[in-house]
Amino acid sequence: MGTMNDRVKKLSFFDLKLFKWGTICFTLIIVKLIPEILNVNIMWFIGLGILFSIKPVYVLLFKN
């Protein structure tokens, strides 16, 4: 994990934004290949979004 942390620290703001948009494009490809994913109830996406956001928000706001 230490090696990966060192590598991530080398990334600039622009690199992180490019990674984010690359992930969005990859996700769109998956959805186009498996359109049944869109038939899932919206509450699942909301719940997973909240679940995946808990730790980053905690670190951002409360951790020193």
* Per-residue pLDDT at 56: 85
**Total-model pTM:** 0.61
Angle of CA points 28, 45, 37, to nearest 5°: 45
Helix and strand element counts for the chain (H, E): 3, 0
User: For 28-57, how does the pLDDT look when each residue is reduced to its tens digit (9 = 90+)?
Assistant: 999 999 989 888 898 998 999 999 999 988
3-state helix, strand, coil in the chain (%, to 5): 85, 0, 15
Task: Give the pLDDT band of residue 17 (cuts 50, 70, 90).
Answer: very high
Contact 37, 31 (CB under 8 A): yes
* 24 token code pair: 């969005």
